[in-house]
C-alpha cells in the first residue's frame, strides 16, 4: 500500500516535471524567435555596430539558437538560470527579492478568503431562502462579475481619494524599518487592505459558490438527519461530518486558485504598485529580459504544480476513496 502510494506520488511529480520542462522549452524558443532585440535597450543608435554586437555577444544571443539552448539546458541542470539583463544579477536572486512578498501575501489572503467564505456559506446555508441569504448570494454574484481592475480602481477612489482612509499604493511607509514589530505588522496590514479586498472579491465569490452548493447538498443527506436524530451536537456534525464531505470538490478548486495566486496577481499588483511576481514577470516580458522571463515562468509553474499536488494530497487525506481511486 505505502509503496504504491509513493510510486503514484513519484509518477505525478515526474510527469509534472516533464510538463514544466516542455513549458520552459516552449517559452525559450518563443521569446527567441519573436521580433525585437533585447540589446537595443542598452545601446543607442549613435554607438557603433561593433558595440551592439559585443552587447549581443555578452548576452550570448549571437550564437545559433540550438547552441543557446544546449548552454541553457546545461546551466539549468546545474541550477543556474543565468543573469538578468536588467538587474545584472543572477535570476534566482532577483526572484528571491520578489517571491517572499508574493508567497506571504498569497498565503495570508488565501487563508482569510477561506475563512470568510466558509463562515459566510455556513451562515447562509443555515438560513436558507431568508433575506440575509438572498442579499449575500446577490452580493457574491455581483462580486464575482466585477473585474479586479474595476473593483481596485473604484476602491481607490472611495477609500483613498474620497475618504483618505487607506493608502493607494506601496506596501509600507518609507520609515517602516524604524517601527516595532506590531506597528510594522499594522503598517503592512494598513497598506495591503485595499489590494486584499480587490483581490478577494472574486475569489471569495468562487469559493462561496462551491461551498454553498456542497454544504447544501450534504446537509440534505440522510446521514446528517440520522446523526441529528442520535442527538449529536450541531457543532460536531458540522466539523466532523459536513465539512469533510463538502470539502472534496472545493479542495481541487482551492489548489488551482492558490496556484494562480502564487504566480502573482498581476492586475492587483499593477493597480496598487506592489512588488510582486506578477509585475516582475510583466516587466521582464516587456523589456525582453529573456533569462528573467524563463525564471519567472519556472517559478510560477513550480508553485502551481506544487499547490495542485498539495490539494490532491489533502483531498486523499480527507477522503480515502480518492486514494483508492488513484491506486486502482
Question: Does 35 contact other proteins by CB under 8 A?
Answer: yes
Closest CA to 116 of 187, 195, 194, 201: 201
Rounded-to-5 percentages of helix, strand, coil across the chain: 80, 0, 20
CA distance 206 to 145: 10
Among 30, 71, 165, 185, binds other proteins (CB under 8 A): 30
- 81 contacts other proteins (rule: CB under 8 A): no
213 forms part of the interface with other proteins (CB under 8 A): yes
Specify the residue, 140 or 227, whose C-beta has the smaller distance to other proteins.
140
Q: Is the CB of residue 288 less than 8 Å from the CB of residue 31?
A: yes
Cell 487607506 -> residue:
166
Asked if 16 interacts with other proteins (CB under 8 A), we say yes
DSSP states along 270-314: HHHT---HHHHHHHHHHTT-HHHHHHHHHHHHHHHHHHHHHHHHH
Sign of CA dihedral 132, 133, 134, 135: positive
Binding to other proteins (CB under 8 A): which residues in 143-172?
144-150, 153-154, 156-157, 161
26 forms part of the interface with other proteins (CB under 8 A): yes
| Rounded least distance, CB 164 to other proteins, Å | 11
Q: Shortest gap between Cβ of 212 and other proteins (angstroms)?
A: 10
Identity of the residue, 35 or 64, whose beta carbon is nearer to other proteins in the bound complex:
35
What is the size of the binding site for other proteins (CB under 8 A)?
49
CB atoms within 10 A of CB 299: 24
Q: Least distance in Å: CB of 69 to other proteins? A: 18
Stretch that binds other proteins, among 2-10, 53-61, 79-87, 301-309 (CB under 8 A): 301-309
In what helix (H) or strand (E) does residue 5 lie, and over which residues does it extend?
helix 2-33
Q: Which is nearer to other proteins, 120 or 151 (CB)?
A: 151
**Hey, which residues does 83 pair with through a beta bridge?**
90
DSSP secondary structure, 245-257, as one string: HHHHHHHHHHHHH
20 binds other proteins (CB under 8 A): yes
Q: Which is nearer to other proteins, 227 or 288 (CB)?
A: 288
Q: Does 304 bind other proteins (CB under 8 A)?
A: yes
User: From residue 154, how far is each of 128, 197, 271 by CA, in Å?
Assistant: 31, 11, 11
Tell me which stretch binds other proteins (CB under 8 A): 39-47, 84-92, 232-240, 278-286: 278-286
**Which residues would be at the binding site for other proteins (CB under 8 A)?**
16, 18-20, 22-23, 26-27, 30-31, 34-36, 141-142, 144-150, 153-154, 156-157, 161, 213, 259-260, 263-264, 266-267, 270-271, 278, 281-282, 285-286, 288, 293, 296-297, 300-301, 304-305
Amino acid at each position: 500500500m505505502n509503496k504504491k502510494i509513493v510510486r503514484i506520488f513519484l509518477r505525478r511529480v515526474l510527469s509534472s516535471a516533464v510538463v514544466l520542462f516542455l513549458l520552459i522549452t516552449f517559452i525559450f524558443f518563443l521569446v527567441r524567435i519573436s521580433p525585437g532585440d533585447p540589446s537595443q535597450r542598452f545601446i543607442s543608435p549613435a554607438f557603433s555596430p561593433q558595440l551592439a554586437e559585443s552587447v549581443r555577444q555578452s548576452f550570448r544571443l549571437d550564437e545559433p539558437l540550438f547552441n543557446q539552448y544546449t548552454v541553457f539546458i546545461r546551466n539549468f541542470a546545474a541550477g543556474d538560470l543565468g543573469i538578468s539583463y536588467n538587474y545584472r544579477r543572477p535570476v534566482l536572486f532577483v526572484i528571491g527579492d520578489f517571491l517572499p512578498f508574493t508567497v506571504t501575501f498569497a498565503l495570508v489572503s488565501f487563508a482569510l478568503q477561506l475563512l470568510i467564505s466558509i463562515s459566510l456559506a455556513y451562515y447562509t446555508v443555515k438560513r436558507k431562502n431568508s433575506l440575509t441569504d438572498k442579499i449575500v448570494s446577490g452580493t457574491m454574484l455581483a462580486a464575482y462579475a466585477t473585474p479586479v481592475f474595476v473593483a481596485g480602481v473604484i476602491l481607490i477612489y472611495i477609500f483613498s481619494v474620497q475618504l483618505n482612509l487607506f493608502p493607494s499604493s506601496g506596501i509600507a511607509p518609507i520609515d517602516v524599518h524604524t517601527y516595532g514589530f506590531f506597528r510594522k505588522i499594522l503598517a503592512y496590514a494598513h497598506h495591503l487592505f485595499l489590494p486584499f479586498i480587490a483581490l478577494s472579491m472574486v475569489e471569495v465569490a468562487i469559493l462561496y459558490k462551491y461551498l454553498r452548493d456542497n454544504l447544501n447538498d450534504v446537509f440534505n443527506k440522510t446521514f446528517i438527519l440520522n446523526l441529528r436524530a442520535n442527538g449529536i451536537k450541531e457543532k460536531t456534525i458540522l466539523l466532523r461530518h459536513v465539512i469533510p464531505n463538502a470539502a472534496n470538490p472545493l479542495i481541487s478548486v482551492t489548489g488551482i486558485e492558490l496556484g494562480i495566486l502564487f504566480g502573482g496577481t498581476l492586475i492587483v499588483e499593477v493597480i496598487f504598485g506592489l512588488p510582486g511576481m506578477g509585475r516582475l514577470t510583466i516587466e521582464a516580458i516587456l523589456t525582453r529580459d529573456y533569462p528573467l522571463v524563463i525564471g519567472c515562468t519556472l517559478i510560477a509553474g513550480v508553485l502551481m504544480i506544487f499547490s495542485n499536488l498539495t490539494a490532491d494530497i489533502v483531498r486523499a487525506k480527507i477522503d480515502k476513496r480518492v486514494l483508492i481511486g488513484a491506486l486502482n
